Structure 1
């Protein structure tokens, strides 16, 4: 509580200083405590306890905007932060659309599920961290667990502005992970598993160990397949990575900058009628739950693509003003950064196909993509990645596949969909939700 009072006092000081200077502003203050562990050769290789605080201001004066931040709450440092922001604003271009527009918002994220009491002690957490590595290396042909660990975070955010807004958010999260490196007959393969939760007891170390090991073992004897077009199903983690590489297609900020290929496509068919994509503010168990955005507006659901038709992009007050449309309350800003746009939970709705129908016949299941961001052109939609997975038939894996390249165009790919299953899944980070989606054809370069 003392730390929270210090943050609040610092915010009040900053807002008073800004007002005295004849400007308007919003302030974000973060306080966090973090704990992480990693194991190597049966011993703890990392035992890290960190805590920190940062306060950042976005000032608007004479239609000019700038940001600055401080990791000190000392009044002298806070004054310098404000003065630097105002000085930087003098050299920025005028922008009548970026204002401090959230008035008298008083919102707290009052959800017990995102801030639960810690139910594990230090000894239990150390034991878990050590068990991740030990669980991997005790298995046949497992050379090592090169990446493994446990981490937890306790974070508190206060957002306030010169228009009377004061919003607060607290959350706790924890996760563990383990990668298995397998070596046999001169071949190597590696894969990992991750488990996340809001409290220690929700973590599943055995899943991390077994999923990574089993997948690496299954891929070990993989080889390239014939070069041609294949029907493809991505595992959810791979699909999440793919959508993340092309995330600008939902961004009103990218549209404002003229680099979103869907800028002028509102009301047009941009995807298969089987696809509905929603940005959800709340989904049970989600890890991006927050009652307000980075300007203080109450978060809400936005249907981005409804049965293949583009309904909306994600907007903050700046981009919404620029286009003269409604704000979707998707402002995203850290204490150290400028105003942007971000999603909460991306949800691709379930379809009508059973799992059996979705996986009928021959298809390629891709479980690993390499070089996703370097191999993707978010504007044109073209992509080319290294990939691994399995050639499947009627839902059964019949051949491990490695050493291939998958290529196509994202914006064309999502128009050519054969089936969408009726079972919704979530990725490790619990921010991307989707059913199995069978894409009709992608180019695979193998042998």
Structure 2
């Protein structure tokens, strides 16, 4: 199963060979929640010919009930056998592109949003947008609370790391699904883990992120535990990030590399980074889309909040890893602010569009900031022109609502629904009376 199928015929041959009985058709809603329905293997011909119909009115961000008919069109290149289901009468999955009954791409489909961004990249002469995200997560004893399994720290390999066996099984399951894993280790926080997938083109990587999240959760559940990608589940500990490495390729060469530049960055690479920096604040509600995301994006932890770039300094929003001779293809930027609970299709689309905007309009990259930005006084940051990411989802979504770039990235239908949903989430949170308020104020006011 290491070779990726490319056609309906390939898929049908693999189904016959593997004795597959059911095919799950996967897609995501506007918030990046995985949706699925199952078809009998005998329905594959119909599925490939005209797609499978479903009611979209119950899917968050999809059409209202009066125009709810949707078609799920399976992508044969994403066929994989699901390793946590029984081998006998097995189960496989395929990601789908969502279409209207007329057979046109549905504008509310996150996969379509990413495809549109990739089309713009191709029109500008680039071949591939490679993405390598590092998704962190926590393992808790159950989903009722945040009781940790260990007190391990970064790279610990002792009895402190209770999750090493489940992590190994998770890696093996990911590899069975065609996902190459480079690293896996215990992270900084207690009971916190990271499994790093090898970079891939953006569409495959967005699919892989969805597969990664469900696989991590399934194998945690097998041990009776709960895995969460919630950005900040533990007060006073590091949150979970999704540091995202990015590069553009053209004619097989890394378009970010320039051997004659001080930083080994081409003008294209610099403009791409400048685009992401300039638009970071208005994109924040996409790559950090939950109320809880902004409990992670606070000064002093590993999550950066200051809009600047650097080569070594991890307090900056963007880091450009140091160049090693002979490794031109690894020249890349690393954006350190996204979290693993985002919708990867929308996030990669927005980041690509921001970078392409920088290239198209010739944005200038400012000088790198190599000092610890957390130690700068607010006046110094202001003097240096260093902005800060929004401090709340409420602030972030209002910046997004004014963004012409996000409107173009998402399209009008999805843009309006996304802003509406996130404004409502912020309002629901804003009016809550929390335990912190009761503990602090009830005895004294």
Shorter-chain TM-score range: under 0.3
| TM-score, length-scaled by structure 2 | 0.23
Larger strand proportion of the pair: 1
Higher percent of residues as helix: 2
TM norm structure 1 = 0.23
